[in-house]
Amino acid sequence: MNSATVSGGIEYVVASYVITWVVLGVMLVRIVGSVRRARAEYDQARTGGFRT
C-alpha cells in the first residue's frame, strides 16, 4: 500500500494558480478598458460627438 500522502500533483497546483492569475489579469485589463470606453463615450455624447 502507498503512504497515503500525496507526493505529486504539482501540475494541478500550477494549473490552478495559472488559471487564477490569467482570469484576474484578463478581468483587470477588460475592466480598465470598459471604464475608459464608457468615459470616452460619455464625453463624446456630452459635447455633441464632433469634438476631437
Residue ranges in contact with another protein by CB under 8 A: 1-10, 12-13, 15-17, 19-21, 23-24, 27-28, 31-32, 34-35, 37-39, 41-42, 44-46, 48-49
- Nearer to another protein (CB atom), residue 13 or residue 52: 13
Q: Scanning the structure block, which residue is given the C-alpha cell 471604464?
A: 35
Query: What Cα–Cα distance (Å) separates residue 46 from each residue in 1, 20, 22, 38, 51?
Result: 73, 39, 36, 12, 10
Nearer to another protein, 48 or 52 (CB): 48
- State the minimum distance, in angstroms, from the CB of residue 31 to another protein: 5
